[in-house]
A and B are shown apart, each in its own frame.
Chain A
Amino acid sequence: MAGLAAALGSGAMTNAVSEIGEAACIFVIGSNTTAAHPIIGRQIVRAVKQGAKLIAADPRRTVLRRMADVWIRHKPGTDVALLNAMARVIIKKKLFDTSFVKERCDGFEALEAAVKDGDLAEAEQITGVPAQKIVEAARMYATFSPATILYAMGITQHSHGTDNVMAVANLALLTGNIGKPSSGVNPLRGQNNVQGACDMGALPNVLPGYQKVEDQKIRKKFEKAWNCQLNPSPGLVLTELFESVHAGKVKALYIMGENPIVSEANTSFVEEAVSRLELLVVQDLFLTETAQMADVVLPAASFAEKDGTFTNTERRVQRVRKAIEPVGNSRPDWVIIRDLAKNMGAKGFDFNSPEEIMEEIRGLTPSYGGITYGRISKVGLQWPCPDLDHPGTPYLFAEKFSTPSGRGQFAPISYTPPAEVVSHEYPFILTTRRSYFHFHSTLSRKVDGMNVLRSEERVEINPVDAAPLEIENGDAVKVTSKRGAVQAKAKITQTTPPGVVSMTFHYPETRTNLLTHGALDPVAKIPEFKVCAVKVEREIDFGTQYLGWGTGKIG
C-alpha cells in the first residue's frame, strides 16, 4: 500500500474486477489467484479464452501457469531483480510509452539510470529465470495493450515489500498501462473488508479517508465533528505493537475479530507478549486461540446477523444484510462498541442503526461522500464517490494521479536480498501459501465439509529435495527455523520448486507462523511471511522403523 501510495497516490486497486476479463495482457505476480481469489481467477480464465496473453510469475507451480503464455519461476524474494530486468528490457528496446512518461510521470531519468547498470545475465543469476524468458515477458507486457498487473501477498509480504510494489508500479507507468479500462496496477486484497477497514481509519496514522492524524487542519475537522480532543501522535503499527506489549508499554489490548496468535509472524513472541498484558479483551465469533488467553470475551454476531457495508478489493462499497437474528446471546460488533462507549460516558455514540453510522462517515470521508444505503441497495458504488450525483469510479487516475504533484512517480530501486537467507543449517526457503478451501485461521475450519476436503497441514516439498531426506508422501516431517518448530505431513509435489518448501497457516494445530520471520518492511511494516530459512527432517517413528527392517526400506 505504501509503495503504491508513493508511486500513484493511492494504495487501492486501480481498476474494476470486471475489466480484467477484457484485458489484452495480464501479468500476475505473487498471487495464486485461482486459490485465493477464485472469482478473479475466473476473470483471468475468461480473458485467456478471449485471446489475452497471460504472464504468470510465481516460484510455485500454480494453476495459472497451465494457461500462461510465459511462466516465470523466480526464486522467492527476487521480485525486484526480475521486475527491474523487465523495466530495463522495456527501456532498452524503446517499448515504453514516451508520451505518457513525458506528460504524466516524474523521475524517468532516475529510473533509467538505476536500471541501466545491471545486465540480463546478472538478473538470470539472481532470479534463476532464463534471460530470454524475461525478455519475452517484458516484450509481451509492453506490446499488448491494455495490460493489467495483478499482485497479492506474494509481492507485499517481504522485508522489502514496498520496493516490490514500486517496481511493479514502474512497469505500469513506463508502458502507460494505467488510467484506462482493463489496465492498471491491481493489488488483490485478502480479507473481505480489508479495504474498508483501511478506508475507515482503522490504521494508526490516518483518520477515516486516509486523512493524516498529524495534520492539524484535519484534526480540527474531526475534533469539531466528534467534539473531543485528538491525540496528535500516530499510534503503533500492529507488527510493532506486540514489541510494545512485550516491553510492558502497552498494558491493555482490545481485539475485535482477529486471531494474532495464529496469524502473526513469529507467533511464539506474540504469545509471550500477550501473556504479559494486564487486560486482554477479545470480541469474536469463536473462542479462538487468542480468545482463550483473554480476560474478557465478548461473543460477536457474524456477517449474516447484522446490517452494514463491506468495501471490496475494487473499492466497491456493498451492502451486507441481516438474514437471521444473532446466534445465541451474541451481539453485532457495532452494538457492543456503542454500548461500551456510552457506558464510559462518551457522547456521539447514539446510533440506532448502521445506516446512521454511514451518514456520519459520509460527512467526514470525502471519498465516501456520495454513498448512502439507498444508492447501494441494488449494486454497490466504487469510491471515490464524492457527492450524491457522482456515479462512482471504476478506474482511477483517468486524468491525473493522486500524488501531491498529480504525476506518477518512478522510483529507482535496487534489489536487496531477503532478510533471512538459507544457510548450511537451514537449507530450505519456507514460503507461506493459502489453500483454496480455507481462509486464514478460523472461519472455514468451522465448516465440517471444508475439513473433509483439507483436514490437515501439508508441507509441500519437491521430490528432488525429498529423496535425499528419505521423505515419502504422507510422512510426518518436522520443519524447524531459528524461531521454532512444527510438525506436519509431507506432500511431495512438483508444485514447489527445489530448495523451497511451502505451508499454509490455516491450522492452529500446526502453527506455521511459529517459523516465520518477524522482519518488517521498513515503510509498510509488513512482516516477511514469504521467505524464511528452515530445515526439514523426517520424524522417525521407531515402531514403524522396526517393522521396516530387512525390507531394504527405512520407515
Chain B
Amino acid sequence: MTKNVTLTMNGVEVKAREGMTILEAAGSAGIFIPTLCHYPGLTSEGACRICLVKIEKKKKLHPACRTPVEDGMVVITDDAEIDQVRRVTLELILSDHDFNCLLCPKSGACRLQALVNRIGFDERRFNRLNRVAKDLPVDTSNPFFDFNPNKCIHCGICIRTCREIVGVDAINMAYRGYDLKVSTFGDQPFKESACVSCGECVERCPVGALIPKDVKHPTREVKTTCAYCGVGCGLYLGVRGDTIVKARGDHSNPVNRGELCVRGRSGYRFVHSPDRLSSPLVRAYDPLESKPQGINGAAESGKLLTRPLVKERGEFVEVSWEQAIKYLASTLVHYKGDQFAALSSAKCTNEENYLFQKFVRVVMGTNNIDHCARL
C-alpha cells in the first residue's frame, strides 16, 4: 500500500498519497496551478515552466507537474515572485507565436489564450521581446488536419500522445535552439510519414498548431456508436443543420475512453457522399421480355440515372418507395421456400438483423439466411 503524506499548500493542510506530484495533490485539494504542457494521462515533461511553485527550504522554483510530494513539504503556489516568473515565461512563449487570434480556428478553446487571460503580460516588455513571427510553411498534406509550426509552442503534448497513447511515434522534436520544431521522421510531409492520421494529437494540441481541416462547430451533439470495426467505440457526432460536421470520442465509454482512430474520427464522411443512393431503383426490362410485370408505369414516372449502369439486363429506373415495395412484395411471393436466400449485414443494427431473419423465416419460410461473419 502506498503511504499517505501530509503537506501544506498555501497554508492549507493537504493530504496526498506518496508518489503523487504536487500538481496532482493540488488538484485533489481543489487548488489550481496553471499548466500548459501537462496533459492528464500523459507523462509530464516540465517543458513549459508555467506550473513552477515555491517549496520551502529549497532553492529555485520547482515544476509542480514533475515534483513528487514529500511528508511535511510546505508549498506556495501563488505569490508575487511566482507570478512574475510565470509572466516572463509566458511572454517568451508568446514572443514567436504567430497570433492572429481572430482568424485562428482554435480561438476560444486555446489554452494559451486562457493563460494570457489568467497571468497577463507586460505589453511594453513584450513589444521589445517580440520577434517577427517565423514564416515556416504550413503542412497541409494530410487530408484531415493541418500542421502550422508557426503556432506551435513546443509543449510536446502531440509527441507524447503519439508515443504513449497511439504507440506509433510518428513525430518528435527536430533541429536545435530557435529552429526547434515538431517534425516527422526526416521532416517529411505528414502524408508521407508514419502518421496514421488518428487525430489524437490534434485533439490534444493546446493551441492552433495542429488543427482539423474545415473546422465547423456543431450546433448539437448526438451520442452514438462508431459503425466501422467490432471494437464499438463510443462517439459523439456533431451536427450542424442536417450535416454531420464533427466526430469526437466519448470519454464515458469504457471501450475507447474518448480515443478514436482515423476511421472513427473522419470516416463518418461517407454519410454525405454524393454517391449515396437517393431513390429505389428497379430494372426496367425490354417490353419484349417476359419479366416486367409489376412495374408498369415505373419507366414513365422515374427519371433515368446519370451513372453508368449494366446494360445487358435493362436499365435502372427510379421509382417511388410505394412502387418498389409493391413490386417486390408481388415478386417475392413466387419465391417462397428454399429457392429464396438472404444475406443480412453485420453493418446493420441488432433490431434490423432480428427483423430481417424473422422476415426470412416467417414470411419466406426458409432458413437460408447468413451474413459476412466468415469474411
Is A41 within 8 A of B355, CB to CB?
no
Is B363 within 8 A of A346, CB to CB?
yes
Is A202 within 8 A of B230, CB to CB?
no
Which residues on A sit within 8 Å (CB–CB) of B237?
Answer: 304, 323
Which residues on B sit within 8 Å (CB–CB) of A200?
Answer: 350, 353-354, 357
Asked whether A313 and B231 contact (CB < 8 A) given A323-B237, A357-B354, the answer is yes
Complex Cα distance, B225 from A308, in Å, reads 10
Q: Does B366 contact A (CB under 8 A)?
A: yes
Asked whether A339 and B325 contact (CB < 8 A) given A256-B344, A263-B375, A437-B197, the answer is yes
Asked whether A252 and B335 contact (CB < 8 A) given A235-B368, A343-B326, the answer is yes
Q: Does A388 contact B (CB under 8 A)?
A: no
Is A340 within 8 A of B325, CB to CB?
yes
Number of interface residues of A (CB under 8 A): 156
Q: Could you mark each residue 340-375 of chain B with 1 if its beta carbon is under 8 Å from any beta carbon of chain A, else 0?
A: 111111111111111111111111011111111111
Complex Cα distance, B270 from A34, in Å, reads 23
Is B225 within 8 A of A310, CB to CB?
yes
Asked whether A255 and B342 contact (CB < 8 A) given A319-B225, A447-B267, the answer is yes
Q: Does B227 contact A (CB under 8 A)?
A: yes
Binds A, one of B51-59, B89-97, B150-158, B253-261: B253-261
Q: Does A70 contact B (CB under 8 A)?
A: no
- The answer, among A40, A284, A307, for a CB contact under 8 Å with B231, is A40
Is A202 within 8 A of B357, CB to CB?
yes
Q: Does A449 contact B (CB under 8 A)?
A: yes
Which residues on B sit within 8 Å (CB–CB) of A229?
Answer: 365
Q: How far is the CB of A275 from chain B (nearest CB, A)?
A: 9
- The answer, among B266, B278, B283, B341, for a CB contact under 8 Å with A450, is B266
Is A330 within 8 A of B165, CB to CB?
no
Most buried by A among B165, B229, B363: B229
Q: Could you mark each residue 328-345 of chain A with 1 if its beta carbon is under 8 Å from any beta carbon of chain B, else 0?
A: 111111101111110110
Q: How far is the CB of B225 from chain A (nearest CB, A)?
A: 4
Complex Cα distance, B230 from A1, in Å, reads 15
Complex Cα distance, B375 from A156, in Å, reads 9
Is B359 within 8 A of A320, CB to CB?
no
Is A238 within 8 A of B266, CB to CB?
no
- The answer, among B198, B253, B277, B373, for a CB contact under 8 Å with A297, is B277
Complex Cα distance, B339 from A207, in Å, reads 20
Q: How far is the CB of A127 from chain B (nearest CB, A)?
A: 25
Q: Could you mark each residue 317-328 of chain B with 1 if its beta carbon is under 8 Å from any beta carbon of chain A, else 0?
A: 000010011111
- The answer, among A317, A333, A338, for a CB contact under 8 Å with B348, is A333
Q: Does B109 contact A (CB under 8 A)?
A: no
Is A213 within 8 A of B367, CB to CB?
yes
Which residues on B sit within 8 Å (CB–CB) of A156?
Answer: 374
Is A449 within 8 A of B269, CB to CB?
yes
Which residues on B sit within 8 Å (CB–CB) of A44?
Answer: 167
Most buried by A among B144, B256, B354: B354
Complex Cα distance, B268 from A34, in Å, reads 20
Q: Does A469 contact B (CB under 8 A)?
A: no
Which residues on A sit within 8 Å (CB–CB) of B275?
Answer: 286-287, 446
Asked whether A201 and B370 contact (CB < 8 A) given A254-B343, A286-B277, A343-B325, the answer is no
Which residues on B sit within 8 Å (CB–CB) of A250?
Answer: 338-341, 368
Which residues on A sit within 8 Å (CB–CB) of B283?
Answer: 294-296
Is A324 within 8 A of B239, CB to CB?
yes
Asked whether A251 and B316 contact (CB < 8 A) given A199-B350, A263-B375, the answer is no
Which residues on B sit within 8 Å (CB–CB) of A197?
Answer: 344-346, 348, 350, 353, 371, 373
Which residues on B sit within 8 Å (CB–CB) of A305?
Answer: 271
Q: Which of B181-201 contact A (CB under 8 A)?
A: 191, 196-198
Complex Cα distance, B224 from A190, in Å, reads 19
Q: How far is the CB of A433 from chain B (nearest CB, A)?
A: 14
Q: How far is the CB of A270 from chain B (nearest CB, A)?
A: 11
Q: Which of B269-290 contact A (CB under 8 A)?
A: 269-273, 275-283
Which residues on A sit within 8 Å (CB–CB) of B321?
Answer: 329, 331, 339
- The answer, among A40, A314, A349, for a CB contact under 8 Å with B355, is A349
Which residues on B sit within 8 Å (CB–CB) of A339?
Answer: 321, 325
Is B164 within 8 A of A196, CB to CB?
no
Is A447 within 8 A of B266, CB to CB?
yes
Q: Does A258 contact B (CB under 8 A)?
A: yes
Which residues on A sit within 8 Å (CB–CB) of B347?
Answer: 191-193, 257, 303, 443
Which residues on A sit within 8 Å (CB–CB) of B278?
Answer: 299, 327-330
Is B167 within 8 A of A63, CB to CB?
yes
Complex Cα distance, B310 from A292, in Å, reads 6
Q: Could you mark each residue 156-200 of chain A with 1 if its beta carbon is under 8 Å from any beta carbon of chain B, else 0?
A: 110000000000000000000000000000001111111111111
Is B343 within 8 A of A37, CB to CB?
no
Q: Does B82 contact A (CB under 8 A)?
A: no
Q: Does B215 contact A (CB under 8 A)?
A: no
Q: Does B117 contact A (CB under 8 A)?
A: no
Q: Could you mark each residue 195-213 of chain B with 1 if its beta carbon is under 8 Å from any beta carbon of chain A, else 0?
A: 0111000000000000000
Q: Does A316 contact B (CB under 8 A)?
A: yes
Complex Cα distance, B238 from A304, in Å, reads 11
Is B356 within 8 A of A202, CB to CB?
yes
Q: Beyond the given A39-B264, A197-B353, A304-B268, please list 9 additional residue pairs across the A-B interface where CB-CB is below 8 A.
A: A38-B262, A192-B225, A193-B348, A205-B367, A236-B368, A251-B339, A256-B342, A306-B349, A318-B234
On B, residues with C-beta under 8 Å from A are 142-144, 164-168, 191, 196-198, 222-234, 237, 239, 242-244, 252-257, 259-264, 266-273, 275-283, 307, 309-310, 313, 316, 321, 324-329, 331-333, 335, 337-363, 365-375
Could you list some 26 contacts between A and B, CB below 8 A?
A: A38-B196, A42-B259, A191-B230, A191-B372, A192-B225, A197-B348, A203-B373, A204-B367, A233-B367, A235-B341, A236-B341, A255-B342, A257-B347, A286-B273, A300-B277, A303-B347, A306-B349, A312-B225, A314-B255, A323-B239, A334-B352, A343-B325, A348-B358, A351-B355, A447-B273, A527-B374
Instruction: Please list the 5 inter-chain residue pairs (A to B) with the smallest Cβ-Cβ separation, ordered nearest first.
Output: A312-B232, A308-B349, A328-B278, A449-B143, A257-B345
